[in-house]
């Protein structure tokens, strides 16, 4: 492996609005749906993604899933089809005591030509622990990692947590805990994944918030990818993504709007049940919805069946809780929450309802909610924009209500992690600004539960405590439609939405 690698290429990303402009200049022409040929052997895949980078492709936030879906990054573990922890950079692991796990590494290389060593892995995890804001996968958890001497193979890493953590292997599968080489980090700890990750595709060029180029990493431990590279395009407009697939300008298009699905040939549509739930999050810290009775009034005003039937045209199920039908064990363990507060009278209270258009159904959902809330007596101002432009304001609590599509198992695969990250006082992604002692206690109890059944029961008790506050109103449980060109095979249709292309994806 040559140590001579191209310099890192991530500059500050320009968060400019994406236009649904003609795409012919973005990809080489390929009207038959095939990818473009490459001198390295194999075709390049042309992929349209819905979300432009919001955080300079940092692996510690929302952009982490962009990197994992494109096959750039990976962690010590991954999730299998059943949601259990599976080997990735760690070939195996064992629990030494309540707080300590030993992960045995496989022989692998970073894209900069250096070896994946225990010291490099431990240092990478240490950077993630120090990152601010903290990765959602580490919400409520402090861990330390130490390199073990290499007795054989690639060595091992011992990970110790501040409290017993029975789901640590699941937690380490999070895209936000991807392992990068020492060259990825600057003096301030910021991480640059260009040429420093371990996945089958290496990020080689980024054009602001519009496109990225990836080349095959031939020394990938999992085998040489069949595609020679990926030309990724960030297209926020769902109609433009569908049109790009229809006209053969892209090979794969994620998140096809339900309104566009009927216009695609049946053999190009792939529908996947996911663990994604769309919810109405009400700001419980300030504004009109600081009043619990007005949150109850908003919850009572929402008719979720209308959203599933009309907005999603049957491609979603009416909201029943934080966890939907794709979390197969949840329904049998769910206890409907008892209302904590009776609905009050809005009396024209003015609220700002916001959502984003990267998922094209959400503005329509928000419009229906606006009508339902106004019928109940609220005065509603609607704000719609690109997610990257709204996220910081949403995290700061500048909206009274926010419509969010959230994959409940994407961060760790553990049902408790999303509760800690999204709904507790110290949660790093708490868009509802919820801080409730009963909720924190229920989530803490769930975090401490050992054993699969016990943890699931505790998660459902915590879900009931959260829903009792009326700060979270589940709307629909989504199925996603992925557009796949007729000559493309091996696309990874992942209910956790962490992966999209892999070594076997080709056109």
Q: What angle do the packed helices 292-301 and 361-376 form, to 10 degrees?
A: 110
Q: What is the reported pTM?
A: 0.77
Q: Which residue has the tokens 């998140």?
A: 255
Q: Are 49 and 230 in contact (CB under 8 A)?
A: no
Q: How confident is the model at residue 322 (pLDDT cuts 50, 70, 90)?
A: very high
Secondary structure of residue 37 in the 3-state scheme: strand
- Tens of pLDDT, residues 146-163: 998 765 567 999 999 998
pLDDT at 8: 36
**Cα–Cα distance measured from residue 296 to residue 341, given in angstroms and rounded to the nearest whole number:** 6
- Tens of pLDDT, residues 169-182: 999 999 999 999 99
Residue 425 backbone dihedrals phi, psi, to 5 degrees: -55, -40
pLDDT of 364 strictly over 90: yes
Q: Are 297 and 401 in contact (CB under 8 A)?
A: no
- Tens of pLDDT, residues 249-301: 999 999 999 989 988 988 999 999 888 999 999 999 999 999 999 999 999 99
């Amino acid at each position: 492996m040559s140590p001579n690698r191209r310099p890192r290429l991530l500059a500050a990303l320009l968060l400019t609005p994406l236009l649904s402009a003609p795409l012919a200049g973005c990809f080489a022409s390929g009207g038959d749906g095939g990818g473009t040929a490459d001198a390295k052997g194999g075709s390049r895949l042309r992929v349209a993604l819905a979300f432009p980078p919001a955080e300079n492709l940092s692996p510690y936030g929302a952009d982490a899933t962009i990197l994992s879906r494109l096959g750039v990054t990976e962690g010590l573990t991954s999730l299998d089809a059943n949601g259990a922890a599976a080997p990735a950079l760690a070939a195996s692991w064992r629990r030494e005591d309540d707080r300590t796990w030993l992960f045995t590494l496989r022989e692998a290389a970073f894209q900069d030509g250096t070896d994946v060593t225990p010291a490099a892995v431990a240092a990478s995890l240490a950077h993630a622990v120090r990152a601010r804001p903290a990765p959602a996968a580490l919400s409520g958890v402090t861990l330390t990692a130490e390199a073990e001497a290499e007795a054989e193979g690639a060595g091992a890493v011992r990970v110790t947590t501040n409290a017993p953590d029975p789901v640590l292997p699941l937690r380490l599968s999070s895209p936000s805990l991807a392992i990068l080489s020492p060259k990825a980090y600057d003096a301030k700890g910021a991480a640059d994944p260009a040429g420093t990750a371990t996945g089958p595709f290496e990020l080689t060029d980024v054009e602001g918030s519009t496109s990225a180029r990836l080349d095959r990493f031939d020394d990938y431990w999992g085998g040489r990818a069949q595609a020679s590279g990926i030309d990724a395009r960030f297209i926020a407009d769902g109609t433009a993504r569908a049109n790009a697939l229809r006209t053969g300008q892209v090979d794969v298009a994620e998140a096809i709007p339900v309104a566009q699905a009927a216009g695609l040939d049946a053999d190009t549509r792939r529908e996947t049940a996911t663990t994604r739930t769309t919810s109405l999050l009400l700001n419980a810290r300030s504004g009109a919805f600081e009043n619990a009775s007005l949150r109850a009034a908003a919850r009572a005003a929402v008719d979720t069946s209308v959203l599933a039937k009309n907005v999603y045209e049957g491609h979603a199920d009416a909201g029943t809780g934080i966890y939907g039908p794709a979390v197969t064990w949840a329904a049998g363990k769910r206890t409907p929450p008892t209302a904590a507060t009776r609905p009050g009278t809005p009396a024209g209270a003015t609220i700002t309802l916001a959502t984003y258009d990267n998922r094209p159904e959400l503005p329509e959902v928000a419009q229906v909610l606006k009508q339902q809330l106004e019928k109940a007596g609220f005065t509603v101002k609607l704000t719609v924009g690109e997610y990257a432009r709204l996220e910081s304001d949403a995290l700061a609590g500048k909206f009274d209500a926010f419509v969010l599509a959230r994959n409940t198992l994407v961060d760790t695969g553990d049902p408790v992690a999303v509760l800690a990250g999204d709904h507790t006082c110290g949660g790093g992604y708490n868009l509802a600004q919820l801080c409730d002692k009963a909720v924190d206690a229920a989530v803490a109890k769930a975090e401490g539960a050992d054993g699969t059944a016990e943890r699931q029961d505790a998660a459902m008790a915590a879900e009931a405590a959260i829903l009792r506050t009326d700060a979270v109103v589940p709307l629909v449980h989504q199925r996603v439609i992925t557009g796949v060109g007729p000559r493309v095979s091996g696309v990874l249709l992942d209910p956790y939405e962490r992966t999209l292309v892999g070594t076997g994806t080709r056109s």
